[in-house]
Amino acid sequence: MSYDVTRKILAVESYKPVSGECDIHLDANESFIDIFREAPYLADKIADEIKNISINRYPDPYASGVTAAFSEYYGIPEKYLTAGNGSDELISLIIGALLQKGETIVTLSPDFSMYAFYGSISEVKVHQMKKEDNLSVSIPKLIEYCNNNSVSAVIFSNPCNPTSLGVSRSDIIKLVRNLFCLVVIDEAYMDFWGLENSVADAVEEYDNLIVLKTCSKSMGLASARTGFAVAGEKLTKVLRTVKSPYNTDGLSQAAVKAVLSEKNLLKANTERIIESRKSLNKALIGLAEKYDRLDKVYESVTNFVLVKTSHAAEIQKQLMERSISVRCAGNGYLRITAGSEEENKALIDALEDILK
Ligand SMILES: *Cc1c(COP(=O)(O)O)cnc(C)c1O
């Protein structure tokens, strides 16, 4: 017997995290703050919560405890929230379950690669609309494309990974108002820009809007795989119906709930990350002024900085040789996550050394 893998799967390009051992990880947009090490009392609190779990029982299918804590943290009513195993699972669920095979989704380019990835697994047509030359998004062009091409859903990140740029709240609302299809706005990095730019509070008014949130970035909980979909009651009912019953595990539910109750710590950590990004952004702009091989550094509103350079692959390799990982984003860009003060300094020193 020889099993033939279906054609759709042969066409799927797997997500490739930067591989190889290294000391300084600036490639995955994680938080550089390890709260278990920095706040041992919190690690102990979580350990106690976990000891109280009935590990032989299935967890709460609606993750009520962590959902209530998330609702409280952002001021989003629980009835609009669906918990997921990271927002990645929710992207997969939205594309795989809300759309039908052969329907068209529109995403932007460059943007998060997972939208097209889940689209191809679900046999959904993916149209990647190119951004403007300065990497901004033309909302009028997006509206025109969607309304002329029977598009079923639009999905993109705001602020964007990898461009690090944001689309204003008024532009997003304009998009949602002018489209009849589903609009999914992935706000993984919104905490770094400012919640006044979020459209999460608009789901009550617009029943075609889903906003995705994650605990992986500003909260520093990437290992606990927890994200949320924010949507009006109709779409929330659908998402809760189609999700797998126990999609978030009991250990993560307990851990994330405990961390979410530490509002002050989370706000302070978000501020620390923003400060780090500002200083990284500034230092990289300094290098770009000095060295022609860096073409442009974008003004980031996220926890990473995008650098335009036609030498991206070679610089990434030379940084890796110095045990620093950064990510090549598309053709001709480096995406560098803000690290601790020492990590940023090590990166800038290494870049000087490579570029001089
Ligand atoms: C990091 C990231 C996420 C978060 O994924 P999780 O599965 O919640 O860890 C979602 N969207 C974008 C654009 C990201 O960069």
Residue with CA at minimum distance from ligand 1 atom 12: 188
Percent of the chain with pLDDT over 90: 93
CB proximity list for 154: less than 8 A, separation 6 or greater: 105, 106, 107, 142, 146, 175, 179, 181, 182, 183, 184
Q: Record the pTM.
A: 0.96
Q: Where do the DSSP E strands lie in 247-313?
A: 296-297, 304-308
Distance 173 CA to ligand 1 centre (A): 22
Is the distance from CB of 218 to CB of 337 less than 8 angstroms?
A: no
The pLDDT-based confidence of 8 (bands split at 50, 70, 90) is confident
Q: What is the pLDDT of residues 45-104, one digit of tens each?
A: 999 999 999 999 999 999 999 999 999 999 999 999 999 999 999 999 999 999 999 999
Average the pLDDT over 182-188 and give the result: 98
Give the pLDDT mean for 288-304: 98
Of 118, 161, 212, best ligand 1 pocket probe by most atoms within 8 Å of the beta carbon: 161
157 Cα to the center of ligand 1, angstroms: 9
Looking at this protein, which amino acid is placed at residue 155?
Answer: I
Distance CA 80, CA 60 (A): 17
Model confidence at 5, in pLDDT bands (50, 70, 90)? confident
